[in-house]
């Protein structure tokens, strides 16, 4: 079919779906790539009905589709095997409902996290997901299940997402969960689409449970000699009765390390706990109401290699030591930072590193994480490194996952190849 024929049919579908959005479909330009793969068309639906009409048309036209939110994490996962249409969620934005008395909100998926935060702050509430830099959307945060420091207290997107509206590959609209925190009617499809990288459907609306904004917060930091020592100190903090909101280690490639404890609560309570934490961490620990440098950021920059390392909690100090030793062995600078309090660390290696050596380091990190019941996943990497390493590593239950993908997207048109096992 000639290109303009496809465009016409997508436009017709979109017009059927939403009358007041005259031209949500266009031909892709040079910027419309996903992890380096160029698209042919871009469509920016404004609501669920229009998105459904577009996905139905895409199904009829056998177009491969990848969703784009803020585009900040498009280099995560593998490039799509096939790409015709980018479904851009930037117009699918806005807070649908904020029931402050019920501590819930319903938002469209393209809403930016920072915009939502500003809306909720008016009622002294928050969606307790860390989002340190502007631009990322709710849909992207859900689809990648990214997590930041405060997951220790509040959990991750999977724990906060209580209801979801999604449009399937065939254009059918489905809801699961709802607007109440407690709900066990039917399968929890919200969990299924969290962290699925848009391979099971387009998420158009999310209902979240909210938390009150804490009245007070304090960061208590102690610098130590190396990463493993930081890990051990984190263990000491966990064993105490401090109930931290976050417990982070930061071990830059250059050496040295720090442990930071975030305390949230009432002003009096936080002051007392910050003092207790300072005593526990040792004489030179400092307390501040400002986050330390790099707090909640990944320890890598655009173009670098970024990994997520997980571990059973008792294995965190050992993993920090092993990771450092492996990097030294392969003569690679490795920056480690993350949530020692929950067993999730992030690691960064400069994008200029030799792919062969990076491959060896990834193998070593996989062995080190496997020894502590965890995983090492390469979230982002330059093409030369992607060619050398398996991004995801071993995945339990992969056969079942393939069957789930097959049921939801039998023609493999949604972000094909982006996810585990080439799903």
Partner 1 sequence: MSTTTTDLAALGAALRAAIGADRVISDRQELRTYECDGLAQYKVVPALVALPVDAAQCAAVVRACVAAGVPFVARGSGTGLSGGALPHADGVLIVTSRMRDILEVAPADERAVVQPGVINLAVSRAANPHGWYYAPDPSSQQICSIGGNVAENSGGAHCLKYGFTTNHVTGVELVTPDGDLVRLGGRAPDAPGYDLLGAFVGSEGTLGIATEVTVRLTRLPESVRTLLAAFESTDQAGAATSAIIAAGVVPAAVEMMDALAISAAEAAVHCGYPAGAGAVLIVELDGPEPEVAAQFDQVERLCRDNRAFEIRIAVDDAERALFWKGRKSAFAAVGRISPDYIVQDGVIPRTALPEVLRRIGELSAERGIRVANVFHAGDGNLHPLVLFDASVDGQTERAEEVSGAILDLCVRHGGSITGEHGVGMDKAKYMPRMFTDDDLDTMQLLRCAFDPAGLANPGKVFPTPRLCGEVPGRRKGVHPAQEAGLAEVF
Ligand X SMILES: Cc1cc2nc3c(=O)[nH]c(=O)nc-3n(C[C@H](O)[C@H](O)[C@H](O)COP(=O)(O)OP(=O)(O)OC[C@H]3O[C@@H](n4cnc5c(N)ncnc54)[C@H](O)[C@@H]3O)c2cc1C
Kindly tell me which of 11 and 73 has the beta carbon lying closer to partner 1.
73
**Which string of x and - marks every residue 256-295 that binds ligand X (by CB under 6 A)?**
----------------------------------------
Nearest residue to the partner ligand X, using Cβ: 136
Kindly tell me which of 144 and 310 has the beta carbon lying closer to ligand X.
144
Question: Closest approach of Cβ 8 to ligand X, in Å?
Answer: 26
Binding ligand X (rule: CB under 6 A), the pick from 140, 244, 306, 416 is 140
Scan for tokens 């469209």, then name that residue.
108
Binding partner 1 (rule: CB under 8 A), the pick from 89, 194, 204, 221 is 194
Binding partner 1 (rule: CB under 8 A), the pick from 310, 326, 415, 416 is 310
| Sheet with 257-265: strands ordered across | 286-288, 216-224, 257-265, 246-251, 335-339, 344-349, 305-310, 376-380
Exposed (0-12), middle (13-18) or buried (19+): which is 357, by Cβ within 10 Å? middle
Residue 133, binding choice from ligand X, partner 1, none, Cβ under 5 to 8 Å by partner class: ligand X
Task: Assess 205 for contact with ligand X (CB under 6 A).
Answer: no
Question: Closest approach of Cβ 197 to ligand X, in Å?
Answer: 4
Task: Assess 181 for contact with partner 1 (CB under 8 A).
Answer: yes
CA–CA distance, 10 with 22 (Å, rounded to integer): 12
Question: Closest approach of Cβ 374 to partner 1, in Å?
Answer: 4
**Which string of x and - marks every residue 58-87 that binds ligand X (by CB under 6 A)?**
--------xxxxxxxxx--x----------
Which region, judged by CB under 6 A, interacts with ligand X, from 128-136, 229-237, 260-268, 378-386? 128-136
Q: Which tokens in the block code for residue 121?
A: 């702050």
Task: Please work out the total of residues on this chain that contact ligand X, with binding judged by CB under 6 A.
Answer: 36
Which residues between 403 and 422 bind partner 1 (CB under 8 A)?
403-408, 410, 419-421
User: What counts of helices (H) and strands (E) characterise the chain?
Assistant: 13, 21
77 Cβ neighbours under 8 A, 6+ residues apart: 35, 197, 379, 391, 415, 418, 419
151 Cβ neighbours under 8 A, 6+ residues apart: 130, 246, 339, 342, 344
> Interhelix angle for 227-239 vs 316-329, to 10°?
170
CA–CA distance, 64 with 199 (Å, rounded to integer): 11
**Angle at Cα 389 formed by Cα 312 and Cα 156, nearest 5°?**
40
């Amino acid at each position: 079919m000639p290109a303009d024929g496809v465009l016409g049919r997508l436009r017709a579908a979109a017009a059927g779906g939403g009358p007041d959005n005259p031209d949500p479909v266009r031909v892709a330009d040079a910027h419309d790539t996903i992890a380096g793969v160029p698209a042919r068309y871009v469509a920016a639906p404004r609501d669920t009905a229009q998105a459904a009409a577009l996905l139905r048309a895409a199904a009829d036209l056998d177009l491969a589709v990848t969703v784009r939110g803020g585009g900040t994490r498009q280099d995560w996962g593998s490039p799509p095997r096939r790409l015709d249409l980018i479904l851009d969620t930037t117009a699918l934005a806005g807070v649908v409902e904020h029931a402050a008395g019920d501590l819930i909100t319903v938002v469209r998926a393209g809403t930016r996290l920072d915009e939502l935060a500003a809306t909720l702050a008016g009622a002294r509430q928050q969606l307790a997901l860390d989002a340190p830099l502007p631009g990322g959307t709710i849909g992207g945060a859900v689809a990648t299940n990214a997590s930041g420091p405060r997951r220790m207290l509040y959990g991750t997107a999977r724990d906060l997402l209580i209801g979801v509206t999604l449009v399937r590959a065939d254009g059918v609209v489905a809801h699961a969960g709802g607007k109440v925190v407690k709900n066990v009617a039917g399968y929890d499809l919200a969990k299924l689409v969290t962290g699925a990288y848009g391979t099971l459907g387009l998420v158009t609306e999310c209902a979240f449970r909210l938390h009150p904004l804490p009245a007070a917060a304090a960061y208590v930091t102690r610098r130590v000699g190396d990463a493993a020592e930081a890990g051990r100190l984190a263990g000491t903090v966990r064993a105490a009765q401090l109930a931290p909101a976050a417990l982070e280690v930061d071990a830059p490639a250059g050496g040295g390390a720090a442990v930071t404890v975030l305390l949230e609560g009432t002003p009096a309570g936080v002051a007392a706990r910050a003092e207790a934490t300072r005593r526990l961490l040792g004489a030179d620990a400092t307390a501040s109401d400002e986050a330390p440098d790099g707090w909640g950021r990944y320890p890598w920059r655009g173009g670098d290699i970024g990994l997520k390392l997980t571990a059973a909690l008792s294995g965190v100090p050992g993993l920090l030591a092993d990771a450092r030793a492996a990097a030294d062995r392969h003569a690679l600078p490795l920056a480690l930072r993350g949530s020692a309090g929950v067993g999730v660390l992030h690691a960064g290696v400069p994008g200029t590193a030799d792919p062969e050596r990076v491959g060896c380091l990834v193998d070593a990190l996989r062995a080190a994480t496997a020894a502590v019941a965890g995983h090492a996943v390469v979230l982002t990497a330059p093409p030369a490194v992607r060619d050398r390493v398996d991004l995801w590593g071993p995945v339990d239950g992969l056969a079942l996952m393939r069957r789930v993908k097959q049921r939801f997207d039998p023609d493999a048109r949604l972000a094909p190849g982006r996810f585990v096992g080439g799903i």
